[in-house]
Amino acid sequence: MAEYDKQAARSYGMGASGGIINLVTRQPSDEFQQSIRVESSLQPDELGDTLGYNGSYSLSGKVDAVDVLASVSYRNSGISYDANGDVVGFDNTQGDTMDSDSINAFIKTGYNWDDQRLQLTVNHYLVEGNNNWLSVDGDIDAGIPTTAIETDVPGKSPSNEVTTINLQYTNEDIFGQKLRAQVFSQDFAGTYGGTPSGTFQDPAYGEVVFDQSQNNSEKRGLKLTLIKDQIAGAPVSLAYGVDLLEDETWQQLILTGRAWVPPTQYKNIAPYAQAEFTGIERVTITAGVRHEISELKVDDFTTLYSYNGGQFVKGGNPEFSETLGNIGATYEISDAWRVYANYSEGFSMPDVGRVLRGINQPDQDVETFLDMQPILTENQELGVDFSVEQFALQLAYYTSDSDFGQRLALGSDGIYSVKREKTEIDGVELRGQWFASDSDTLEARYAYTDGRYDSDQDGRVDTDLDGRNIAPNRFNLSWARSWSDSFSTRLQANWLLDRDFENAAGDVTKEFDGYAIIDASAQLQALGGEFALGIQNLTNEDYFTYYSQTAGNDIRNFKGLGRNVSLSYSKVF
């Protein structure tokens, strides 16, 4: 739930990614409007434990120059079973969305005057497990899946709690330019489940130490952008500004009161400029530059006893700076054909917490520790789009390379560590649509990704990235049909394709046996609202997940969800 969720990725704090989908991009309605939605989900063969439900209420409207959009939702999640009727194993340490309760409250309100707008957005989200199910290890070699039994689970419940506040000001005409200003804050706390992990052991706290950790992050930031169109009457527009960020993150073992990750203060200032040129018919050229200035502050600290007896690490205040560029071009060959190419450079910090807590060698200091260096990536993309009345096609090829990248590695005790290595990732994505009639749309998608890293530090990538670090190759086929103005359906098949993962010697270290999942859904306008029926894994396919096959262990050898049915009703009034 807090650090790794096998059903939904959510993590916050320095070096993290992901987020919560909510109503940020939705605009308030012109007239006062309310909506409700209720939904239940279950697995037909296991009605009792699998039943979950959620409900939401939202309102929207405008009064003169003031508008508001607000919603609140609650979800209770049941237990999931695989196609054989066995409980899909819990991840008690990282947390799980099964057997949990969540609440999401959101409000966005704005005030408009002249060419200006002031908007405030507040979002609070909490998900918490109920600690009613305990994981039972599987056996990868024997093909035995991880399951769970119903019993009291020791320790505090895993949870994620995040509050985000965002204040935006826009002015469409200030000295002939457009202004976009935004200040934001985010407070996050993620509590992991308890475990007697070897990482937590210390003779000073007893023979066997049961502990659990909590990650905390506080972010504050400012984004300021000015936009100037048609500079000096030329077909050139310019967007320029600055981004500011402060992030303080720490992680502690809450049952014994020990510090696992020391408080880290990260500051970043990034001025930038982005230009667009449209002076050539059917051609658009963009180019930009961004200068990253970062500072990291860490006080002296000592790692846990399990890291080779506990290592004293001298704190420091390392600073990093890098100038990044990007350039891209789009050419509309005709009304039907468009080609494009982009090159960009990226800058990000590694997962500082995992890097610092894992130091197990003496005489290290933050100022000179190589693994603290930023991740610099070079990204390239080439693509072509084709669109006519009945057909649409998009093809893209991309690469993302880093001379000193980041790879997540899972230890035998289930704790992740960071490896800093040269990485190269490339892939192809293909999407085709056929609008067969006014009522029927057929769509096919194919995605291929290849990733390798330098395992022996000789400057050449030689080993395949695994399922913790790279997405599966997949093919998707769907058919959507509107049978009438009030009734529509969608049928979708998703194939995850077979794949072998090789090491530097060319030996296969992991084999992924692909699988196909078929989903179906239907929507019916009735009783003043809309009913929606969804069936996931229609054929009740039995399979081990991509993660389990490519990156799991006996603790996390999860089967996939068996056939699952959801039914919802929504109404706008």
DSSP string, 125-176: EEEEE---EEEE--BTTTTBPPEEEES---SPPPEEEEEEEEEEEEEEEETT
Tracing tokens 């270290």 back to the chain, one arrives at 509
Average pLDDT in the 9-31 region? 47
**Each residue of 136-166: pLDDT tens digit?**
999 998 999 999 999 989 889 999 999 999 9
Q: Are 377 and 254 within one domain? A: yes
Give me the chain's average pLDDT, please. 89
Q: How confident is the model at residue 459 (pLDDT cuts 50, 70, 90)?
A: confident
Tracing tokens 């239940």 back to the chain, one arrives at 40
Q: Are 260 and 177 within one domain? A: no
Inside any domain, residue 221: no
Rg of the chain taking only CA atoms, in angstroms: 26
**Which has the closest alpha carbon to 141: 559, 555, 554, 556?**
554
Cα→Cα distances 128→151, 236, 530, Å: 17, 51, 30
Inside any domain, residue 229: no
Q: How confident is the model at residue 118 (pLDDT cuts 50, 70, 90)?
A: very high
Phi, psi (deg, nearest 5) at residue 392: -145, 140
State the Cα angle at 224 between 222 and 226, rounded to 5°. 175
Inside any domain, residue 332: yes
- Whether 263 contacts 250, CB under 8 Å: yes
How many C-beta atoms lie closer than 10 Å to residue 318's C-beta? 17
Instruction: Return the CATH number at 524.
Output: 2.40.170.20
For residue 108 the two structure tokens come to 């966005």
Domain boundary among 170, 194, 218: 194
What pLDDT sits at residue 73?
A: 96
Q: Are 502 and 533 within one domain? A: yes
Amino acid in position 364: Q
Average pLDDT in the 534-543 region? 95
Inside any domain, residue 140: yes
Q: Are 416 and 335 within one domain? A: no
Q: Are 379 and 419 within one domain? A: no
Q: Are 364 and 404 within one domain? A: no
Q: Are 185 and 253 within one domain? A: no
Q: Are 153 and 8 within one domain? A: yes
Split into its structural domains, the chain has a count of 3
Percent of the chain surpassing pLDDT 70 = 94
For residue 242 the two structure tokens come to 């600055």
Q: Are 526 and 413 within one domain? A: yes
Inside any domain, residue 209: no
Average pLDDT in the 210-231 region? 94
What pLDDT sits at residue 180?
A: 95
**Each residue of 359-384: pLDDT tens digit?**
888 888 888 876 778 888 999 999 99
What pLDDT sits at residue 556?
A: 87
Q: What is the DSSP string of 272-332?
A: EEEEEEEEETTEEEEEEEEEEEEEEEE--EE--TTTTT--EEE-B--EEEEEEEEEEEEEE
Percent of the chain surpassing pLDDT 90 = 69
- CA–chain centroid gap for 262, Å, is 25
Strand partners, 231: none
Domain boundary among 353, 383, 413: 383
- Whether 480 contacts 495, CB under 8 Å: no
Q: Are 400 and 356 within one domain? A: no
Q: How confident is the model at residue 92 (pLDDT cuts 50, 70, 90)?
A: confident
In whole angstroms, what is the distance from residue 369 CA to residue 472 CA?
Answer: 33
Query: 548: phi > 0 → left, psi -120 to 50 → alpha, else beta; which?
Result: alpha
**Each residue of 379-432: pLDDT tens digit?**
999 999 999 999 999 999 999 998 877 777 766 655 666 778 889 999 999 999
Decide if pLDDT at 41 tops 70.
Answer: yes
Residue ranges making up the domain that contains 254: 235-383
Q: Are 394 and 500 within one domain? A: yes
Of 36-40, 140-144, 230-234, 443-447, the poorest mean pLDDT is in: 230-234
Inside any domain, residue 240: yes
Average pLDDT in the 438-454 region? 94
Inside any domain, residue 464: yes
Q: Are 412 and 355 within one domain? A: no
Q: Whole-prediction pTM value?
A: 0.84
Domain boundary among 319, 353, 383: 383
Question: How many residues in the chain?
Answer: 573
Decide if pLDDT at 256 tops 50.
Answer: yes
State the Cα angle at 43 between 42 and 44, rounded to 5°. 110
**Which has the closest alpha carbon to 357: 256, 469, 251, 254?**
251
Strand partners, 35: 58, 572
Inside any domain, residue 207: no
**Each residue of 170-209: pLDDT tens digit?**
999 998 899 999 999 999 999 999 989 889 999 999 999 9
In whole angstroms, what is the distance from residue 285 CA to residue 221 CA?
Answer: 30
In whole angstroms, what is the distance from residue 78 CA to residue 532 CA?
Answer: 20
